[in-house]
Structure 1
Amino acid sequence: MNNALQSQIDELETKIAFQDATIEELNQEVIKLNDLVARQQYQMQLIVDKLLAMEPSNIATQAEETPPPHY
């Protein structure tokens, strides 16, 4: 009985050690992905800012558009 109990404890300790390693690996991947998303958000904001800073296009907005002749 004592050997069986010790065997179960050893098996559980081994599983916990592997789970701890897996959790740490997953945590590192989450950190990398978080950094990647932050960089992409920053780059996207730069693109949006550049687009907004560009001169307006020659196309009139709907409010500026003259109505068609039949109005």
Structure 2
Amino acid sequence: MALLDSLLLYMGWVSTKMALSQLQARAMLNTGMTNNTDLNAQTQAQLDQLEFKVAFQEDTIEQLNQIVTQQQMAIDALEQKQQVIIEKLKSLQSTSSNINSGEEIPPHY
């Protein structure tokens, strides 16, 4: 589960970092800190397209996060079942060896 926690923490950091970058870029544009204070239509369209891509990527990351979480839960459940099976197998092997040690070879051999 530590890997999953690290992944979730990293994804949250990336989303926060991207959001801060967007806010900083907007602040720079709004305060006129760019070389060209008047954004033309093409630049605005490019900015809108980038914002759309970022929003789409954030949605994709969230969907992938949900899938990874579900897969990790399935892996954990399978590992628990595997441990139960291993314990049962060990128990059967020890029982089987106890039974076999008490058997004698039949007289017709």
* TM-score bucket of the superposed structures, by smaller chain: 0.7 to 0.9
Equivalent residues in 2 for 1:41-60 (5 A)? 41-54=79-92, 55-57=95-97, 58=100
Question: 1:7 Cα deviation (Å)?
Answer: 0.2
Equivalent residues in 2 for 1:1-71 (5 A)? 2-54=40-92, 55-57=95-97, 58=100
Gaps of 5+ in 2: 1-38, 102-109
- Cα RMSD (Å) of the superposition? 1.5
4+ residue stretches of structure 1 with deviation over 4 A? none
Percent identity between the aligned chains?
Answer: 39
Gaps of 5+ in 1: 60-71
Aligned to 1:68: none
- Cα offsets for 1:1-60 (capped at 9, x unmatched): 61000000000000000000000000000000000000000000000001111212438x
Aligned residues: 59
Bigger RCO (CA 8 Å, 6+ sep):
2
- Higher helix proportion, which one? 2
